[in-house]
Every structure is written in C-alpha cells, then in structure tokens.
C-alpha cells in the first residue's frame, strides 16, 4: 500500500525520474512487478543516466587513470544486471575496478543499519571493507548511496582512502572537480 503511494506521488509530478538511490529504483523496477503496483512515469537508474551522459560528452572526458573500489549499497543485490552500466561508467571515465573479496554480490554493507545497535560489529565490517579496498590497490572508494557516503566518512579518513560519490567521479573526469587531495 505504501509502495503504491510513493509511486503515485512521483507520478503526480508529471516528470521522468532518474533514481539516484537503488532502493527507489528497486521499488519501481522490481517490486512494482512483484506486487502489481502501477508505475505512472518513465524512470531510469542513475548508472544508465550517467553512462548515457558520458557517451554524449566523450570529447570532454579526461581519463582519470586510477583504481577505485566500489561500495555497493544494499539494494544492488536486487539488480545485479545494472553492474554492466556501472562498469561502462568506470570505463568511460578511465578508472579500473580491481577485483576484490568484497564486491558485487559479495559486497559488504556500509553498516548503517547496525551502527547504533551494534557499533563494534559495524566498525569491524567497515575495517574489513576498507582493508580489502586498500589491498586491491584502490586509490579511492566510490559510493552510490547517500547513506553509505555519509556513514563511510569516518573510515575513509581513518584509513586514508578518499571516498568519492559516483556523480563526483564523473565530474572529476569532466574537469569540473579535482581528484580528492589534488
């Protein structure tokens, strides 16, 4: 019932929607089909939008030439096919996504859901995640979720591994922002 109300509210704006958070996209793209919800608007995932934008602005891209670990948010497990769009975004901006233990379907949560109820476990998860990112040779960790981005500020600083939101990574490649610390 609530899910349909969310979708109806978005439809009431009469605009196309680019989902920058996977949970909203999963509601429209996966759960709506499961529950028979109506989706009264056109929508697109942020990765696909960024991929399309970068394709249209290829001449403006300066390849970054760095390695990045990716922090998948919880809902990515519902849409593993969208990793192909993310991989193309990384290719277009010129970053390498080295293989690591905690990635794709084996990705670790940022720990936001447990940070206040089991802080010790949350810190351990973050530690394992950042140590894995550093071990694979990453120059930064890229986030796609505003909550993950916020929660990972402390470990990013603690481990000395810059944290970059996916849209900012694209802006770096387009010359709109510098690489963190540059």
pLDDT recorded at residue 88 = 97
d(CA 56, CA 100): 31
For the chain, give the mean pLDDT.
93
Q: In the block, which residue shows the tokens 């993950």? A: 148
Tens digit of each residue's pLDDT (9 = 90 or more) over 88-117: 999 999 999 999 999 887 888 888 888 999
Backbone angles phi, psi at 148, to 5 degrees: -55, -45
Q: Does 91 lie in the same domain as 53?
A: yes
Q: Does 64 lie in the same domain as 100?
A: yes
Tens digit of each residue's pLDDT (9 = 90 or more) over 37-71: 999 999 999 999 999 999 999 999 999 999 999 99
Residue 182 lies in a domain: no
* 75 touches 22 (CB < 8 A): yes
> For residue 39, what are the domain limits?
2-46
* 72 touches 103 (CB < 8 A): yes
d(CA 81, CA 76): 9
Q: Does 9 lie in the same domain as 93?
A: no
Q: Does 145 lie in the same domain as 66?
A: yes
Q: Does 61 lie in the same domain as 127?
A: yes
Strand, helix or coil at 151?
helix
> pLDDT class for 151, splitting at 50, 70, 90?
very high
pTM metric for this prediction: 0.90
Residue 16 lies in a domain: yes
Task: Pick the more confident residue, 25 or 80.
Answer: 25
Looking at residues 151-173, what average pLDDT do you find?
96
Name the domain count of the chain: 2
Q: Does 150 lie in the same domain as 71?
A: yes
Q: Does 29 lie in the same domain as 105?
A: no
Q: Does 84 lie in the same domain as 10?
A: no
Q: Does 21 lie in the same domain as 89?
A: no
Residue 180 lies in a domain: no
Q: Does 89 lie in the same domain as 7?
A: no
pLDDT recorded at residue 19 = 94
What share of the chain in percent tops pLDDT 70? 100
CATH code for the domain in which residue 113 is found: 3.40.50.1860
Q: Which two tokens stand for residue 96?
A: 């390498």
The DSSP code for 139 is S
């Amino acid at each position: 019932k609530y899910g349909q109300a969310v979708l109806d509210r978005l439809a009431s704006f009469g605009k196309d929607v680019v989902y920058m958070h996977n949970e909203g996209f999963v509601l429209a793209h996966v759960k709506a089909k499961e529950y028979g919800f109506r989706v009264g608007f056109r929508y697109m995932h942020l990765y696909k939008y960024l991929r399309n934008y970068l394709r249209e602005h290829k001449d403006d891209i300066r390849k970054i030439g760095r390695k990045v670990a990716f922090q998948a948010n919880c809902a990515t497990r519902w849409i593993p096919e969208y990793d192909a769009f993310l991989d193309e975004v990384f290719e277009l901006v010129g970053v390498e996504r080295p293989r690591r233990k905690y990635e794709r379907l084996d990705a670790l949560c940022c720990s936001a859901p447990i940070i206040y109820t089991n802080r010790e476990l949350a810190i351990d998860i973050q530690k394992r995640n950042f140590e894995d990112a550093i071990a694979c040779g990453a120059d930064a960790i890229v986030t796609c979720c505003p909550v993950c981005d916020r929660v990972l500020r402390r470990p990013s600083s603690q481990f000395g591994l810059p944290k970059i939101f996916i849209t900012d990574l694209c802006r770096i490649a387009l010359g709109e922002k510098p690489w963190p610390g540059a």
